[in-house]
């Protein structure tokens, strides 16, 4: 697997995948090889089918987790090994159509107050203020901040660049944080090793803070991103602008927030009201 793994890492890097995606895909390939105790080059569609069957029937993984495994195996065989026929049968498992988790403004305030470590509190505030992915915030550099124009330059999925808003309040918070913490240049959020902060600590910090604040929802960095988008929509921001801010390739990914906006739903007049008004 060693040589194939190195090639796969190189291919993932060339494709510009995020670090978390690279780790997930490599992990899928590693588990597949370990399951059969054979090299990926020696195996084909039959072995892939057996492995997928194990994921579904024995390990009983969620549809989302299985989809991640399938995406990793598809990349391995299509891109790295050039044997698309080995995974041509793959169909994505249907995932439950669940609404995104969104926090109310009182919950956001309570959450930020409950985050005791300044670094995590500022990082969470940045997630909510910009809608950036946690991996994007963790890699954010001081040079990405354009205070004069009021924007932050973001290097997103597939090395695609976009701009997000930099509110005056967030700029003040970031400047105060930088003066207090003096993170290792050029990054704003770094670990003890001076490298960009790993997302895992902020995930744990959000879970701990939400419990402390009495928030019953499962709060993650992505929930902060959901909350950003939903609050913008409720404040009148059009979907196209939200799509650009989030870095969605398709507006279809953005329209889901129209289904979770309690404010927009409450503003919609029931046909019963119109019936009574015209009666």
Residue 276 lies in a domain: no
Among the candidates 22, 56, 87, a domain finishes at 87
Q: What is the CATH number of the domain that holds 180?
A: 1.10.443.10
**Measured at the alpha carbon of residue 27, what is the angle toward residues 25 and 32, in degrees to the nearest 5?**
100
Considering the candidates 65, 153, 212, 248, report the single residue annotated as catalytic: 248
**In this predicted model, what pLDDT tens digit does every residue of 225-252 receive, in sequence order?**
999 999 999 888 999 999 999 999 888 8
Residue 265 pLDDT exceeds 80: no
Considering the candidates 119, 121, 225, 231, report the single residue annotated as catalytic: 225
Residue 150 lies in a domain: yes
Active site residue 248: yes
Please count the other Cβ atoms lying within 10 Å of the Cβ belonging to residue 231: 20
Please count the other Cβ atoms lying within 10 Å of the Cβ belonging to residue 1: 16
Q: Cα-flanking dihedrals φ and ψ of residue 215, to 5°?
A: -90, 120
Considering the candidates 133, 139, 177, 231, report the single residue annotated as catalytic: 133
- State how far the Cα of 50 lies from the Cα of 45, in Å rounded to an integer: 9
Helix axes 118-130, 105-114, angle to 10 degrees: 160
Q: Are residues 126 and 257 in the same domain?
A: yes
CA 140 to chain centre: 15
Considering the candidates 49, 83, 157, 162, report the single residue annotated as catalytic: 157
Which pLDDT score, from 0 to 100, does residue 270 have?
A: 66
Active site residue 157: yes
Residue 18 pLDDT exceeds 90: no
**In this predicted model, what pLDDT tens digit does every residue of 146-157 receive, in sequence order?**
999 999 999 887
Among the candidates 87, 121, 140, a domain finishes at 87
Q: Are residues 160 and 186 in the same domain?
A: yes
Instruction: Look over the chain and give the mean of its residue pLDDT values, rounded to a whole number.
Output: 91
Residue 205 lies in a domain: yes
The tokens of 91 are what? 């169909």
Which pLDDT score, from 0 to 100, does residue 21 have?
A: 87
Range of the domain at 12: 2-87
Active site residue 222: yes
Q: Are residues 184 and 157 in the same domain?
A: yes
**In this predicted model, what pLDDT tens digit does every residue of 158-174 receive, in sequence order?**
778 999 999 999 999 99
Q: Are residues 81 and 217 in the same domain?
A: no
Q: Are residues 83 and 109 in the same domain?
A: no
Please name every residue paired with 154 in a beta bridge, in sequence order, or none if there are none.
162
Q: pLDDT > 70: what percent of the chain?
A: 92
Q: Are residues 259 and 166 in the same domain?
A: yes
Q: Are residues 37 and 122 in the same domain?
A: no
Q: Which ranges constitute the DSSP H helices of the chain?
A: 2-15, 19-36, 45-53, 63-74, 105-114, 118-130, 134-138, 168-181, 199-212, 221-234, 239-246, 262-267, 271-278
Which residues does 234 contact at the CB level (< 8 Å), separation at least 6? 261, 262, 263, 264
Q: How many domains does the chain have?
A: 2
């Amino acid at each position: 697997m060693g040589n194939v793994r190195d090639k796969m890492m190189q291919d993932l890097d060339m494709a510009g995948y995020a670090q978390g995606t690279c780790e997930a895909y490599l992990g899928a390939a590693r588990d597949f090889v370990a399951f059969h105790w054979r090299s990926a080059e020696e195996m084909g569609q039959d072995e892939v089918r057996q492995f997928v069957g194990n994921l579904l029937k024995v390990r009983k993984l969620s549809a989302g987790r299985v989809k991640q495994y399938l995406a990793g195996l598809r990349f391995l065989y299509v891109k790295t090994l050039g044997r698309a026929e080995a995974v041509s049968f793959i169909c994505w498992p249907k995932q439950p159509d669940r609404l995104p988790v969104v926090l109310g403004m009182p919950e956001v305030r309570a959450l930020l107050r409950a985050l005791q470590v300044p670094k995590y509190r500022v990082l969470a505030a940045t997630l909510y203020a910009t809608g950036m992915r946690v991996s994007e915030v963790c890699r954010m550099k001081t040079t990405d901040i354009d205070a004069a124009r009021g924007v932050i330059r973001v290097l997103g999925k597939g090395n695609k660049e976009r701009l997000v808003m930099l509110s005056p309040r967030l700029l003040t918070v970031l400047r105060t944080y930088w003066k207090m913490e003096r993170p290792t240049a050029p990054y704003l959020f770094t670990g003890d090793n001076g490298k960009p902060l790993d997302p895992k600590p902020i995930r744990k910090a959000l879970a701990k803070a939400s419990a402390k604040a009495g928030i019953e929802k499962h709060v993650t960095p992505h929930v902060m991103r959901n909350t950003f988008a939903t609050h913008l929509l409720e404040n009148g921001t059009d979907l196209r602008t939200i799509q650009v801010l989030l870095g969605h390739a398709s507006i279809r990914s953005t329209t889901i927030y129209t289904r979770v906006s309690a404010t927009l739903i409450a503003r919609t007049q029931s046909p019963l009201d119109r019936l009574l008004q015209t009666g």
